[in-house]
Amino acid sequence: MSAVFFEEAPEVREIAERIIDKHHPHLKDAKGVIGYYFRDGNSDWAGKAKKCTAFERHVTDYMLFVFINKDAWRVFTPDQRQALVDHELCHFKRKSERVWNEEKKVWEDKYDPANASESWQMREHDVEEFSEIIQRHGLWETGIERFAVAVREADYQMDLEDYEREQLRAVK
The whole-number pLDDT of residue 48 equals 96
Q: pLDDT (tens digit, 9 = 90+) per residue, 109-149?
A: 665 544 455 678 898 887 777 676 677 777 766 667 777 77
DSSP string, 51-95: EPPHHHHHHH--SEEEEEEHHHHHHS-HHHHHHHHHHHHHTEEE-
Residues of the chain with pLDDT below 70 are 1-2, 96-99, 108-118, 130, 132-133, 140-143, 155-172
The whole-number pLDDT of residue 114 equals 45
* 146 falls within a domain: yes
* 36 falls within a domain: yes
The whole-number pLDDT of residue 124 equals 86
* 70 falls within a domain: yes
* 124 falls within a domain: no
- 156 SS3 class: coil
* 126 falls within a domain: no
The whole-number pLDDT of residue 12 equals 98
Same domain assignment for residues 82 and 36: yes
Domain that holds residue 141: 131-171
Counted domains in the chain = 2
How far apart, in whole angstroms, are the C-alpha atoms of residue 6 and residue 84? Answer: 18
* 75 falls within a domain: yes
Q: What is the CATH number of the domain that holds 44?
A: 3.30.2010.10
The whole-number pLDDT of residue 56 equals 95
Task: Sort strands 97-101 and 106-110 into parallel, antiparallel or unpaired.
Answer: antiparallel
* 149 falls within a domain: yes
pLDDT above 90 covers a percentage of the chain that reads 47
Altogether, the residues listed in the chain come to a count of 172
Same domain assignment for residues 86 and 16: yes
Phi, psi (rounded to 5 degrees) for 66: -120, 120
Of 94, 122, 145, at which residue does a domain stop? 94
